[in-house]
Structure 1
């Protein structure tokens, strides 16, 4: 029998890292053929040409689809989606995949999914059912759910939400978050080796900082980042490791502001386009707090565990462990949250913390289901939940 061709479409360093071990499992399975389309930020020098990291991990990229315009406006993002749709349509024609493996909630994924939908290529969606109320990702994620045939969610409440959206329960699998597989598989760097790898000495304390635009809020991104940087000035002895923002509306502004800040504070701050999974998780083990509004602060950080200071509404609605401290975007709130994270009473609570996103063994389960799942009939019935009479009262 012919191998089932699984085509993974990735537009950003982060989402590739989430599914890296799933890709390894697919690649090693004799009954599956892995295909990879790299697009978006992967092909941009501004974001570190991270397609090279995919190749360095031993994968072959079958198609590179240029789509990212040098613009951070909403119009620029929409035009990039159009370019992605054209390029991915041509790539799917050449590759003829049996399944399109599409992760998460970014606009590159939406471009790929709409192509797969009209070309009748079954979609396997990973990380559906989650909520991030402060970003357009929220709507994109749920749209991908309705386009997809197979669903791999990261927690039971997410499975319930996908079913609530009308998806057949037997097609919705909760294997946990595949990014946690890194913690069981990667050989992480010790403190000295990590410092050598980034050319920067850690301090006491050290913060790992990632800040993305809150794309559904009207507060100017310059204001939010200024408040964050003002809060970091309060910790004058802290060493600061910044990773750059995604290519969302406002992302270039964030990156310019943190680059300027690091240039003005060369002894205590560094900015990196991409640390890669191994160095990022190694950093998480050696810093005193993860600061910002990245999902990694809610998923990976509690599994280590390291305190997370989660700023603003971008991650509003996600499941949280006890190690996550939510705060507003003003500098005083951020300072208070960081001080709480560093305090002895809070540090003692970390011993009992665990991630609500699984045990770090999702990759082999996803691979096995991709191999065995029935995908012949793409017509989906809407699964209606039993309705309580109270709704009509």
Structure 2
């Protein structure tokens, strides 16, 4: 059996990885090993290792790496602490291949560790752009460490190839997070209300706001504008989901907690809902507001309008249901008002997303069990042919 170590650093990558984990687990040709770290082991993020166990997976290794600091120095130290733990964990697991998803610093740490031990790396979600976050450069760095690539669109596949990756090792499979939407049984509104701890009276707005790590000042303006804009909608039920552990995340969480206390009759902050709970909340919601990738990927697929604030998701393709806005109160309020006026009959859901058809996991697992691993541990830079540059020059002219 081919031993696949899947790495997860928190709910941001665990949700999209869930269908891949299930597909690996049930395939008789593959042996699943799970390395858990980061936000999964932090109370602020809901201590979601328990959720992993409830989903039917065994946590083979866990590495605590998050320090009680959201400064750049603190995040860098968390990265270093993680690398030390990942080295020991991978040595014990001794996998044939490491699978990572996304663009967070925890994923970069384990990719560095794997590369040093000549362990082949498969990377999901390469080639994407998020100009408003330092994740952009982290994502490209993981691409250069990985030898096998699973992208969400053909555009992203082309970008990975531009980074010098062999086209024969770059596969456009779609976004695996959409597999959850195609296959899962959504919770009822009543059960979702019990999960979040407040009656979900329509209209419902789900808010997820993360630090825009490449634009800290804009990130602060956006949060202040968002909270002020929400005050213009006194009859709306508002559910905040927890903030990623990044630079300046503690101050964002503190401001959100203060807002929720002031409006506690119809507002809640939940650290983690699990994938079924979160997607059910998105589906029930009249709008999704904030700067999270879930507003770009999952919300359009469940047929819910998105208000995307600021620069954090700049560079990612959008469905028609995504309304982009700036960071001031008036612009955010106008965008929320426009989203609440959209009829669900005008939102086709999964068929409207640019990120695939919901069958990514099957494609990924087929490749994981059939690809020749021997050449993957020794990467070579792939030079694009001269005809490519000639074509690009003609397009610019």
TM range (shorter): over 0.9
Pairing partner for 2:337 from 334, 339, 353:
339
Distance, in Å, in 1 between the alignment partners of 2:345 and 2:335 is: 16
Distance 2:217 2:239 in 1: 25
Deviations 1:54-105 (A, max 9, x none): 1110100111101000110000000000000000001111111110101100
Shift of residue 223, structure 1, vs aligned partner: 3.3
Partner of 1:165: 163
Residue among 314, 321, 333 paired with 1:316: 314
**2-structure distance, mates of 1:281, 1:218:** 29
Displacement of 1:348 after TM fit? 5.2
- After superposition, residues 208-247 of structure 1 pair within 5 angstroms as 208-219=206-217, 221-247=219-245
Q: C-alpha separation between the residues in 2 aligned to 1:139 and 1:213?
A: 16
The aligned counterpart of 2:380 is 381
CA distance in 2, matches of 1:132, 1:176: 18
Between 1:100-109 and 1:222-231, the stretch displaced more is 222-231
* 2:36 counterpart SS class: strand
Distance in 2, Cα, partners of 1:304 & 1:38? 28
Is the CA contact 1:205–1:287 (under 8 Å) kept in the aligned structure 2? yes
Q: 2:77 aligned with 1:79, yes or no? A: yes
Normalization by structure 2: what TM-score?
Answer: 0.95
Checking the alignment, whether the CA contact within 8 Å between 1:222 and 1:253 is kept in structure 2 is no
CA distance in 2, matches of 1:56, 1:255: 27
- Distance in 2 (CA, whole Å) between partners of 1:13 and 1:302 is 19
Runs of 4+ in 1 over 3 A off after TM superposition: 220-223, 346-349, 389-393
Answer yes or no: is 1:349 the counterpart of 2:346. Answer: yes
Match of 1:104 among 102, 105, 114: 102
1:274: how far off? 0.7
Assess if the C-alpha contact under 8 Å between 1:221 and 1:253 holds in 2.
Answer: no
Comparing 219-228 with 78-87, greater Cα deviation is found at 219-228
Contact 2:218 2:310 in 1 (8 A): no
RMSD of equivalent CA atoms: 1.6
TM (normalized to structure 1)? 0.96
- The question of whether the paired residues in 1 share the 8 Å contact of 2:222 and 2:310 is answered with no
TM-superposition CA deviations, 1:102-147 (whole Å, max 9, x none)? 1100000010000000110000000001110100100000111111
Counterpart position of 2:140: 142
**Alignment partners' CA distance in 2, 1:159 and 1:330:** 35
In the alignment, what sits opposite 1:182? 180
Q: Does 1:371 align with 2:369?
A: yes
Give the drift of 1:199. Answer: 2.3
1:251 to 244, 249, 267: 249
Q: What is the rounded CA distance, in whole Å, between the counterparts of 2:219 and 2:390 in structure 1?
A: 43
CA positional deviation for 1:387? 1.6
Distance 1:13 1:204 in 2: 27
CA distance in 1, matches of 2:157, 2:218: 34
- Structure 2 CA distance, aligned partners of 1:256 and 1:220? 17
Aligned to 1:56: 54
Contact residue 41 and residue 47 of structure 2 kept, 8 A: yes
